[in-house]
Structure 1
Amino acid sequence: MTSFVHDFPFDPAYGRTLDELMAVPAPSAPEDFADFWRARYDAAREVVTAPEVGPLEDERDGVRIHGVTYTSVGGVRLGGWLALPVEGAAAGPVRHGFVVGHGYGGRQEAGPDVPLPLPSSAAILPCVRGMGARGLVAGIPDVSAGHVLHGIESRDTYVIGDCVADLWCAASALGELVPELAGPGRLGYLGESFGGGLGALALPWDDRFAAAQLTVPTFGNHPLRLTLPCAGSGESVRARHREHPEVVEVLRYFDAATAAESVKLPTLVAAALFDPSVPPPGQFAVHNALAGERELLVLPAGHFEYEGLAQDVAGLVAARRAFFGKWLGR
């Protein structure tokens, strides 16, 4: 077990060894789990995303970064960033494409998600509804503790389902803006924390993705998460569950580990042994349930500053580059 000096009133390693974490299972799926998500996916693919690209905002790491907006389910207009390779216009078609999910709290800029894992790549970095400077939507809380509860009374109104659809619509917008990336098997997915959990829920139903990398993914094994104190959005869900235990029936449809059992594309998971915001047992449950080729990078800690963090981040970047080079490199 990894141990760090901390002042949390609980153990962010939750007393688990690596062997124990590797044995954490996924909860059983509701009988209509796949039907529910396929219907959500089909509805998202019907959306006319009408993407619009804004002025150039930055140029670095081999890409030009523009603002972008697009329409998602429910007619909601969302924003984000579009990264296009500097050489793309002069040197032929884009070779790789990525949809990049973000952590809870959203993103205020393209930031550390650039550089992209492979050269000659384009990417869309959306702000899902309610999150970040370009994802604000009236009526949806923009703080994780409130956002994670929005619409949780029903599987049909829970905001997490719409956030997953926002990623599918972002992929549609990218395919429209960069036609070389339209069609099956043309995209990679990157997601960290909140974006990792959303990715696990989105990937099984969308054949446009050929490989994925999920870092410290959230929403894994909700029944277990409800027993584990944390400093992240899961604590809000735990509090709601204490008052309304029936919420477990909704959460069953939004369990990233349950969804991972249907993820058949190659997936690299970076999971932490110590994490105060996203309990490691849930992270490992996502990895353990994956149905396709999988790789695991074990991190000492997630959502936590520690000595050696910069080197571990560099190692993750290198592993991500090698992984996508193997599965998307052409």
Structure 2
Amino acid sequence: MQVDLPIEELEKFHYQEPEPADFDEFWQSTIAAETARPLDVAFTPVVTELQTIDVFDVEFTGYGGARIKGWLLLPARRSGRVPAVVEFLGYGGGRGLPVESLAYASAGFAHAILDTRGQGSTWRAGHTPDPVGSTPAIPGHMTRGLLSRDDYYYRRLYVDAYRFVDVVRSSAEVDTDRLVASGRSQGGALSLVVAGLRSDVTMIVPHVPFLCAFRRALRMTAESPYGEVSRWLAIHRDQAPAAFATLAYFDGVSFARRATCPAAFSVGLRDVVSPPSTVFAAHNAYGGPKEMVVWEFNGHESGGPEDVLRTIRAVRGLP
């Protein structure tokens, strides 16, 4: 079932929407204001039934001074600093329980998992609220504060993701020269964000990244989460220009253009959640060395466990 352009056209596809002229200024000022706050990181050991993995509850100060949760999972048998996988989660998911995230620590890496503020009630539990209110919004997170770049939900989440890299780098257990950011869907987009805003991420492995090429995505799919924006615009008929003006500051394609570290993407050609052309838009614009793994017969699940194995191999292959 073809849901988008043929692969030959996807490989050459470039998203043509212009960026805001002050895109860099907006994010530089946002990051400067938020990094002026102390991180106040707390790593608290947690007793679990796991015998091969040490678990630490993580808490730090994110956007606006909110306290954000996470996990740090470490191989119990380790010698010195270990490479780290910083994982950002897909839409609606939270950090869950440590037993749900065993692969990377079992492979010998530090595994840091950011708990997504205000989510964590769709496919895995979370423990971090989003204490900020919102203008009228469709249920979900895509339209919360949509008419203002300053108030938009993803401004808060992008800063949390940026700060979480600082949290991981502050751990005495982590080899900061081998720090890989990864995630699926929303998590893939967050890995693009941190690669575009930072120069100290060694590599990213974004699987079927969401939040890329917004106008293209809304033309290609009515599936949620993009469908939240479509339904909001169907009610707020005269607000489309203002909404797209906000979304332009949060497009993963723009962050991809600014990234320089190596990246290993994946895409599912039958994906109706993150349409293939939107994933290729980020890949084709990416500023650093890059590769794309194409799963011809898969949708938003893309490579599934194969993507996890690809991430493990990528970390092991770092110099």
By the TM > 0.5 criterion, same fold?
Answer: yes
Gaps of 5+ in 1: 4-12
Report SS of the residue matched to 1:226.
Answer: helix
The answer to whether residue 126 in structure 2 is matched with residue 130 in structure 1 is no
Residue type of the alignment partner of 1:35: E
CA distance in 2, matches of 1:314, 1:186: 22
Q: Once the 2 structures are TM-superposed, how far is the Cα of residue 99 of structure 1 from its aligned partner?
A: 1.6
Percent identical residues: 23
Report the TM-score when normalising by structure 1.
0.83
CA distance in 1, matches of 2:233, 2:13: 22
1:63 to 53, 66, 72: 53
Structure 2 residue aligned with 1:73 = 63
Structure 2 residue aligned with 1:301 = 298
CA distance in 2, matches of 1:293, 1:117: 26
Residues 63 and 248 of structure 1: is their aligned pair in 2 closer, same or farther, counting only changes over 3 Å? Answer: same
Residues 111 and 298 of structure 1: is their aligned pair in 2 closer, same or farther, counting only changes over 3 Å? Answer: farther
Correspondence 1:1-330 to 2 at 5 A: 3=1, 13-26=2-15, 27-58=17-48, 62-88=52-78, 91=79, 93-107=80-94, 108-110=96-98, 113-116=101-104, 119-132=107-120, 133-139=126-132, 145-178=139-172, 180-181=174-175, 185-242=177-234, 243=237, 244-246=239-241, 247-299=243-295, 300-303=297-300, 312-326=303-317, 328-329=318-319
CA distance in 2, matches of 1:199, 1:18: 24
Contact preservation (8 Å) 1:268, 1:294: yes
Gaps of 5+ in 2: 121-125
Report the TM-score when normalising by structure 2.
0.86
Q: Which moved more, 1:16-25 or 1:172-181?
A: 172-181
Residues 254 and 262 of structure 1: is their aligned pair in 2 closer, same or farther, counting only changes over 3 Å? Answer: same
Contact preservation (8 Å) 2:191, 2:206: yes
Residue type of the alignment partner of 1:217: P
Report SS of the residue matched to 1:177.
Answer: coil
Structure with more relative contact order (C-alpha pairs < 8 Å, separation 6 or more): 1
Residues 320 and 124 of structure 1: is their aligned pair in 2 closer, same or farther, counting only changes over 3 Å? Answer: closer
Residues 144 and 324 of structure 1: is their aligned pair in 2 closer, same or farther, counting only changes over 3 Å? Answer: farther
Q: Once the 2 structures are TM-superposed, how far is the Cα of residue 126 of structure 1 from its aligned partner?
A: 1.1
Contact preservation (8 Å) 1:174, 1:181: no
Residues 52 and 250 of structure 1: is their aligned pair in 2 closer, same or farther, counting only changes over 3 Å? Answer: same
> How many residues matched?
305
Residues 113 and 180 of structure 1: is their aligned pair in 2 closer, same or farther, counting only changes over 3 Å? Answer: closer
Q: Which moved more, 1:27-36 or 1:77-86?
A: 27-36
Q: Once the 2 structures are TM-superposed, how far is the Cα of residue 253 of structure 1 from its aligned partner?
A: 0.9
Residues 155 and 191 of structure 1: is their aligned pair in 2 closer, same or farther, counting only changes over 3 Å? Answer: same
